[in-house]
Amino acid sequence: MDKETKNVKHNDLGYLGLESQYAIVKNLMTNREFFYEIEGYIDEKSFTDVYLGMVVKMILTKFKETGQVPTMKELEVIARDTVYEKTDRKYISDMLGKISSVDAEVMGDTLNDAAIKFFKGQRLEKIIKNGTLSLNKYGFTDELQTRLIEQIQSIGILDTVGRPVAVTEDVIWESLGMKSDDMVPTGIPELDEKMAGGLAKGNTGILIAGTGVGKTTFGSVICCNAIIRDYKVLHIFFEDLKEEIMHKYYACLTGRDTRSFKDLTDEQKREFTKLIFNSHPNAKTALKDNLRLFRMEGGITQVEDIIRVVNQMIKIDGWKPDMIYIDYLGCIQPSSDRRNKYDNEGVAMEVAMKRIDAFAKNNDIAIWVSQQTNRTAGQDDNLDTPSKRMATIQGAFRAIQPCTRVLYLIRVPGEFDRVNLYLDKARNAETSSWENAFFDNATCQINL
């Protein structure tokens, strides 16, 4: 595209050429970041070849039905099963071959940016047209202004941070009246006291510990304490089985080591189920209504995948978490493989953490993320200052910058049930430390 072409208004994608349109469709299937950026605005009628538009419609329909972007082979099956005209099937098959053979990588991000700009521009024109009709028919209203701002913000045309706030009496009253339910407590009294009540909704915290020290256990305890206090919690994990995670919750509720309970008889299982439900007045309701476990694939999961899962829970299931626990940061890719060309793991984690923090703020959800250190801290490690402790995180020190709370957990050498816990960063709260605290991985019990 030359500079002159870019500035001309277009009604379809013909100005890009057919090969570029093939590449856009190929990127829809292979570049998840691009897909999620554009899927809400794309219109199959904007493609100049009708069969190319039919392929786009198949992709969008499959995603709407299953939440998954179809592969080329899946599209071939869909075409065979849903397109009844033999001629149409042939042309679609030919089109899939052209899409498959195009080298989308050569065209780079410039093409994707052009497609995003085009479809968002089309959506903006529609918003302006409908807004003009409402203005001419009903006149200017605050409701019309609010609706237009929200619609335009939804496609990323306006900055979503909003307008400057005038410090009126209402703003002062609101800031002074921060409710306790805006904070999600850890349920560990000494820790919550130093943390000014817990982790506020809209903020992120990070738990740093070495391999085998107890990140999953500690995080499960925080989650379990939240659900019995009637907070909704989404626990995302990568390396454990669902059954193993559930045993953490059972142990936390009952104080029992449940790891060997797979060998129980049916009668013993029924008795232990009663023990779980009777361990706390809210236990049964909390486990059923307030907890969601979700296992994702480590190394290929992106921040956008997590956002999609949460948005589906909110929009489709009507279930919004007050808190999310992600175990752990190193398992997450910040974006699609093609754009994930970072110099090192640290930069990748920094980008992922910033995106997680932005999602927390935009959706008023408290998010805890755990992360491993470079090694398990031992007796010879000199970790006597916050900077030395946090510098051991695998990746970049900058990954903790968005966080309002940073916890560092170190196993006391030679002691299986003793740890040192450090609250190394506590924005708007206090930093603190607890030496030789009781922490048993088997029973999920903590006593600072």
- pLDDT tens for the 448 residues of the chain, in order: 443 344 456 788 998 999 999 999 999 988 877 887 787 788 899 999 999 999 999 999 988 887 778 889 999 999 989 888 889 999 999 999 999 999 887 776 788 888 988 988 888 888 888 888 988 888 888 778 777 876 776 666 554 444 566 788 877 877 776 555 589 999 999 999 999 899 999 999 999 998 889 999 999 999 999 999 999 999 999 989 998 999 999 999 999 987 777 677 889 889 989 999 999 999 999 999 999 999 998 878 888 889 889 988 988 889 999 999 999 898 887 654 434 444 456 677 877 888 898 889 888 999 999 998 865 555 456 677 877 887 777 666 777 888 999 999 998 888 889 999 999 988 888 899 999 999 999 999 999 9
Is there a single domain that holds both residue 96 and residue 185? no
Is there a single domain that holds both residue 397 and residue 291? yes
Is there a single domain that holds both residue 308 and residue 417? yes
Is there a single domain that holds both residue 314 and residue 439? yes
Which CA distances in Å does 54 have to 34, 83, 89, 90?
A: 19, 10, 11, 13
147 domain residue, yes or no: no
Is there a single domain that holds both residue 102 and residue 235? no
Domain count, the chain: 2
User: What is the extent of the structural domain holding 83?
Assistant: 3-122
Which CA distances in Å does 62 have to 29, 72, 437?
A: 11, 12, 52
Is there a single domain that holds both residue 270 and residue 386? yes
159 domain residue, yes or no: no
151 domain residue, yes or no: no
d(CA 441, CA 299) in angstroms, rounded, equals: 26
Is there a single domain that holds both residue 369 and residue 261? yes
381 domain residue, yes or no: yes
Any idea what the CATH number is for the domain that residue 101 is in? 1.10.860
Any idea what the CATH number is for the domain that residue 297 is in? 3.40.50.300
Q: How crowded is residue 377: how many other Cβ atoms within 10 Å of its Cβ?
A: 22
Query: What pTM did the predictor assign?
Result: 0.65
Q: In b/e form, how buried is each residue of 355-370, taking b as 16+ CB within 10 angstroms?
A: bbbebbbebebbbbbb
404 domain residue, yes or no: yes
Q: Cβ distance 411 to 213 under 8 Å?
A: yes
187 domain residue, yes or no: yes
The domain boundary, picked from 75, 92, 122, lies at: 122
The domain boundary, picked from 122, 151, 170, lies at: 122
329 domain residue, yes or no: yes
Is there a single domain that holds both residue 317 and residue 408? yes
Is there a single domain that holds both residue 108 and residue 207? no
Is there a single domain that holds both residue 349 and residue 268? yes
Is there a single domain that holds both residue 262 and residue 396? yes
192 domain residue, yes or no: yes
The domain boundary, picked from 85, 101, 122, lies at: 122
Q: What is the DSSP-derived secondary structure letter of residue 42?
A: -
Burial of 74 (0-12, 13-18, 19+ CB in 10 A): middle
d(CA 352, CA 284) in angstroms, rounded, equals: 35
Is there a single domain that holds both residue 113 and residue 190? no
